[in-house]
Amino acid sequence: MSDEATTHYSAVIDQMTLGLRFLNDTFGECGRPRVAWHIDPFGHAREHASIFAQMGYDGFFFGRLDYQDKTRRMKTKEMEMLWRASESLTPPLADLFTGTNL
């Protein structure tokens, strides 16, 4: 998981590149993750979802969301969604299947 508190995109991309390179060197192509997971950040940036989608991830799950949002989503059965993470990129380039842990 890259640090969502980094102040510039280049730091996020550097962290992801380093991690993906380690996984590739250690496990080969079969070790490449297809789903991103943010364990417990305080908020989730649309830009991070966009970067994950552009890096080839299929999904993004996170562990914390506002309790009112969670209650509403559970009632309407919308715990999962397609996150259109960029207004400027042509879909589906920055679209990412997204959900949360219960």
pLDDT in tens, 80-98: 888 888 889 888 888 888 8
pLDDT of residue 30: 92
- Any catalytic annotation for residue 40? yes
Per-residue model confidence as pLDDT tens digits over 7-41: 688 888 888 899 999 999 999 999 999 998 877 66
Helices 9-27 and 46-54 cross at an angle (nearest 10°) of 40
Longest Cα–Cα distance in the chain: 44
Residue with tokens 């789903």: 35
Determine the Cα–Cα distance for residues 55 and 70; give it in Å rounded to an integer: 28
Per-residue model confidence as pLDDT tens digits over 66-77: 889 889 989 998
Q: Out of 3, 14, 25, 40, pick the active-site residue.
A: 40
Q: 14, 23 in Cβ contact below 8 A?
A: no
Q: 33, 56 in Cβ contact below 8 A?
A: no
